[in-house]
Chain A
Amino acid sequence: DAGITQSPRHKVTETGTPVTLRCHQTENHRYMYWYRQDPGHGLRLIHYSYGVKDTDKGEVSDGYSVSRSKTEDFLLTLESATSSQTSVYFCAISESLFGTAFWNNEQFFGPGTRLTVL
């Protein structure tokens, strides 16, 4: 998985509790992303980062916040988890901003975190 780890890999939590997912990379790629993957939907972008402390919203950012204090770490936080946030979450990294160029559009994905909110 191109030097990308996610933790935890599985988590079960209760509605209303805060949850933080961690993505760690060893590739020194500038861009990092959080996606969610749900049945009947393609990957959907939650937030992405284009540098330390530089982040932006994606398509489905409501209910999520992110932080990037170091190049290698990108955290996704659910401040108050809801059942609708039950999903598989993938972190990805890339050298150039995905979707903006013909070249070097390759993203490398982590192994995913399966989150269940009861």
Chain B
Amino acid sequence: GESVGLHLPTLSVQEGDNSIINCAYSNSASDYFIWYKQESGKGPQFIIDIRSNMDKRQGQRVTVLLNKTVKHLSLQIAATQPGDSAVYFCAEIGGNQFYFGTGTSLTVIP
């Protein structure tokens, strides 16, 4: 099967710094990607999505970058805040199939 993985299982950043969370995918047919945030004890929450015809998409304090050449996806969080502490994972969708990654745990140090 296809795999969606993350380079780093944990990430600690200082409050106010920028965070970068990475995701690798292997299905070249994947054409749509989503980032989720999951706080402890809660369900996943949609953050931002990007389609394969785009390289970059920005939201409020978040930016997703897509590099189709190396099948890599990243989520950038600007001015990270304590409320950003959570697990972040990506999902890839393509060919009527979808896969969720296992996640990176982000800890924001005050």
In this complex, what residue of B is CB-closest to A90? B43
Report chain B residues within 8 Å CB of A110. Answer: 43
Interchain CB contact under 8 A, B4 and A43: no
Cβ-based interface call for A109 (8 A)? yes
Report chain B residues within 8 Å CB of A70. Answer: none
- Name the prevailing secondary structure of the B interface residues: strand
Report chain A residues within 8 Å CB of B43. Answer: 1, 4, 90, 92, 109-112
Stretch binding the partner chain, chosen from B12-20, B63-71, B72-80, B99-107: B99-107
Which residues of B line the A interface, CB within 8 A?
A: 4, 31-32, 34, 41-46, 49, 51, 89, 91, 93, 96-103
Interchain CB contact under 8 A, B41 and A111: yes
In this complex, what residue of A is CB-closest to B44? A109
Report chain A residues within 8 Å CB of B89. Answer: 42
Which residues of A line the B interface, CB within 8 A?
A: 1, 4, 40-44, 90, 92, 98-100, 102, 105-112
A112 CA / B87 CA spacing, docked (Å): 15
Report chain B residues within 8 Å CB of A41. Answer: 102
Report chain A residues within 8 Å CB of B32. Answer: 102, 105
Report chain B residues within 8 Å CB of A98. Answer: 93, 98
Report chain B residues within 8 Å CB of A100. Answer: 96
In this complex, what residue of B is CB-closest to A41? B102
A-B contact pairs, 30 of them (CB 8 A): A1-B42, A1-B43, A40-B102, A42-B4, A42-B89, A42-B91, A42-B99, A42-B103, A43-B91, A44-B100, A90-B44, A98-B98, A99-B93, A99-B96, A99-B97, A102-B31, A102-B51, A105-B32, A105-B34, A105-B49, A105-B93, A106-B46, A106-B49, A107-B46, A109-B45, A111-B41, A111-B42, A111-B43, A112-B41, A112-B42
